[in-house]
Amino acid sequence: MSKAVLDNPAKSSYDLIVILIVNLFGGANFMVRRQQRLSALQVAKLSKPGLYGDGGGLTLQITTTGAKSWLLRYMMAGKPFGMGLGPTHTVSLAEARQKALDARKLLIDGINPLVVKRQDRIAGALASAKMMTFDQCAEAYILAHKAGWKNAKHADQWTNTLNTYASPVFGHLPVAEIDTGLVVKCLSPIWESKTETASRLRGRIESVLGWATTSGYRTGENPARWKGHLDNLLATISKSSRTKHHPSLPWQRIGAFMSALRAREGVSARAVEFAILTACRSGEVRGAKWTEFDTAGKVWTIPAERMKAKREHEVPLSDAALALLESMPKVGEIVFAGTKNQLLSDMSLTAVIRRMNGDDKPVWADANGEGVTVHGFRSSFRMWAAETTNYPREVAEHALAHRLPDAVERAYQRGSQFAKRAALMAEWSVYCATVQTDAVVKPIRGATRR
């Protein structure tokens, strides 16, 4: 037996075992390995930069700037690791020891505590993300997609629709909590009374929730999806019944309207007149540039990026349309330019018709008494062509830049039917200059089957 045991006859059996272990492993090395060597007072007073071990891998780290923090140093699979446990002003010595103990228990089970820490951080981030509200997601969705929308007004339309109908119901709620019941609660009040708006609203909610799922803000099925879901809860309303047509002037009154329109001055009035003569959309006319016109060839080529169908469209120009172009001042690149040579707004053309109608009962109205719109004149043209001419249907459809509904027919009618369309538009311009004395539908003189 060692001298240490013989020199301590009064020690208990426990003390004797400890002394034997100390002598067996070497007193100095054993004492280094003992834990809880630091005291709270020491932690507070120590200021010299360096590493101060508390035992079990727990280390007080003091940087050259005087910052103090806790560090757990350990080995796993032969590799050294260091995991921060927090600054001393936030994590006390006792708390640091408990954290170190928890980490060492993971090590015993073969689990790297650093991996667990990262997983906890990710889980916390996901939990925080799920608190993102529907309104915040809607704003982010619109911001991410508005650059790809062909019409700048779409962003405002999306915002207004969602703010009006969705936000009051669940806009303030975490997007992860939006369920089928909330979506139905939002849609039900307007589903049958404002069917077109409700249909668009549902699609926009579905898009926002889809974006939130892809972005990691929610999980599971989209509660706003239609097929196999909301179609079981809401009535299926046909597209034809929910489509609101633009009020159009009966074609028999086109001549009288054009006569009144030509009496008005201003660029906006000329733009409306040109839109009627060419049967084009308001946006196509407002954005027309001089470089798009071949007056010698009597054709206006609208580039694909300005067309609704994203296909280039050639518009045959009648003599009346060419004369109108000749009357316009060639200042800048825009034909129908507003102030400072900028594009006219859509409302500027609408205002022309509103002023012509006055404040009382509309003078220029459709069969239901509603004031007509600029877009409605395309319907007037289409009805005139169908009821008073013998041109094939596809010729009028091509004149309106419509896609033919039947795929086989589209494949067969690959040509633009330009010559026939030119003749049709010439007859249309003549009719627009003729004021009818009655409302009896009469075929145009000289109209023959093409």
Per-residue confidence (pLDDT) for residue 129, from 0 to 100: 56
Q: Enumerate residues 6+ apart whose C-beta is below 8 A from 319.
A: 426, 429
What is the tens place of the pLDDT at every residue in 160-212? 999 999 999 999 999 989 999 999 999 999 998 888 889 999 999 999 999 99
What percent of the chain lies above the pLDDT cut of 90? 60
Q: Does residue 243 have a pLDDT over 70?
A: no
What is the tens place of the pLDDT at every residue in 274-302? 999 999 999 999 999 999 999 999 999 99
Q: 361 or 86, which is more confident? A: 86
Q: Does residue 17 have a pLDDT over 60?
A: no
The mean pLDDT value of the chain amounts to: 84
Q: Give the tokens for residue 430.
A: 């003549």
Q: Does residue 379 have a pLDDT over 80?
A: yes
Q: Record the pTM.
A: 0.49
Q: Give the tokens for residue 174.
A: 């975490």
Per-residue confidence (pLDDT) for residue 438, from 0 to 100: 54
Per-residue confidence (pLDDT) for residue 14, from 0 to 100: 44
Per-residue confidence (pLDDT) for residue 244, from 0 to 100: 55
The stretch 126-136 carries a mean pLDDT of 78
Among 295-304, 322-331, 369-378, 411-420, which stretch is predicted with the lowest mean pLDDT?
411-420
What percent of the chain lies above the pLDDT cut of 70? 83
The stretch 39-48 carries a mean pLDDT of 93
What is the tens place of the pLDDT at every residue in 303-329? 999 998 888 999 999 999 999 999 999
What is the tens place of the pLDDT at every residue in 437-447? 754 444 333 44
Q: What is the spatial distance between Cα 377 and Cα 249, in angstroms, rounded to a whole number?
A: 7
The stretch 248-277 carries a mean pLDDT of 95
Per-residue confidence (pLDDT) for residue 196, from 0 to 100: 86
Per-residue confidence (pLDDT) for residue 404, from 0 to 100: 65
154 pLDDT tier (thresholds 50, 70, 90):
confident
The stretch 399-415 carries a mean pLDDT of 60
Q: Does residue 406 have a pLDDT over 60?
A: no
